[in-house]
Structure 1
Amino acid sequence: MRKMKLPESFLFEAGPRAVLLLHAYTGSANDVRLLGRELQRHNYTVYAPQFRGHASERFEDILDEGSPDKWFADVVEATRFLKEKGYEEIAVMGLSMGGIMATRALEVGDYIGGGSFNSPIHHIGKTRLPETFISLYRSFNKRMGVPDARIQDSIPRIKTKRTQQLEEIAEFSKKVAEDLNQINVPYYIASSGNDELIDPANGQILKEALMPYTEVTYHEFPELTHVITVGPNRESFETTVIAFLNKLNWKEG
């Protein structure tokens, strides 16, 4: 097995306004690192933890060590970490599955605002996530030097566990969708028109579901793809996130 430099969580400290950024299902804190640096340049302190089972030398750890409940516990722990460091007001935002976790946090926790980027909370339309997971599993293990035959032999087992976990995520998301009326702080939505993993209609559906209960800031980015936080044309997206955060009711000093 080859050694690989693995992604790490990060804390970029700046001003008293704190933002908790959450990564995607098969991703890592690197998903939101560029956005974190941009927010830091605008005097925000940013923390991006790694969800359990992620950023490991064994891709299968996502399935063996993680679950929606465990990942949400990671969000609670990350929030506690920021508060213990003295950050009293926190916004929480996430990409894809991270956005599902951020939305749950806004429903049950104490945050100044937050939102999601390309998050299939309502699971509208088709998704390419099941086959994408297998593709990422294959490519990761090839980079780690695992023989092709061994990878191929493991695929049936991986598919079974992947299907079970995706069903667990869908059940968790269903509960999140049912409790959207508990959100009473401003909510931001980014939807990529060129999303290759989920139906972009998920963003519009989420907007309509939230509007009776809270202030919603909704942006469509026709040319951007699913991992909106790292694309070469992400500047327009970053600008809207910063504008949203700047308008929140922060207490200065």
Structure 2
Amino acid sequence: MVEVHEISEEVYILSTHLKENQISVASFLILDEKPTLIETGTMQAAKNFTPEIEKIIPLEKISYIFVTHEHLDHMGGLPEYISEAYNAETVAHRYTKAQLGFMGIVGKTILTGGGETIPLGKRKIEVIHAPIETAGTTIFNLQPDGILFTGDYFGQLTEEKWTLHSQSTEQLLQKITELHQGLGYTHQDIKAYLSPLRKIPLKIIAPSHGSIIQKDLKQVIENTLKTNLKPAKKGTLWSKIFGV
């Protein structure tokens, strides 16, 4: 099942819950002079998202497909999207070039290093290099909407049904910490690469897993920056998902 919600004017989230994996995956659609997709989800998720996107805009009109990093739950659906969005350029960090090549994405690509600004029309996307997850992980800052597309950062596992908004900030903070710990992030790296987010005017943090964040944004960022993370252990929720 795919849920579609407009989270800002002409900005949509498409999300599906992978119950067996206890996680949701998302794509985001931005309508502008250069219509844009952020993230693809898995191959199966992209297959499910495609008809929902087509209800809003034909895929051949998509100009850009941005991916935060090279893991398959974030870019695994690229071949599915590109088969229909054949005019689109894939935007990803240059360190993802090898993975893009393995997937056969060798044509229309924009390889970034961080710091670039890509105009969409009335909006623009700032590319922020934040290599905590992988060497090429990036965050995308959509302005003037104030939406931060963060990939795994600030994400949450979803044991039951996916919801657009978290029930409480306290619950949200706990789930963010659980995911960050499960992915092996360190407090030092989070401080180094996520501290600049304090200075960005934000209205929404939109991770690719779990609920979007529209309230208490400063509290969420500050808590994430100061929380001491512990290494993931066998038997944790994340370990159960990936069998490690």
For the aligned pair, the TM-score class normalised by the smaller chain equals: 0.3 to 0.5
Greater relative contact order: 1 or 2 (C-alpha under 8 angstroms, separation 6 or more)? 1
Q: TM-score, normalised by structure 1?
A: 0.32
Q: TM-score, normalised by structure 2?
A: 0.33
Q: Quick check: which one's strand share is greater?
A: 2
Q: Quick check: which one's helix share is greater?
A: 1
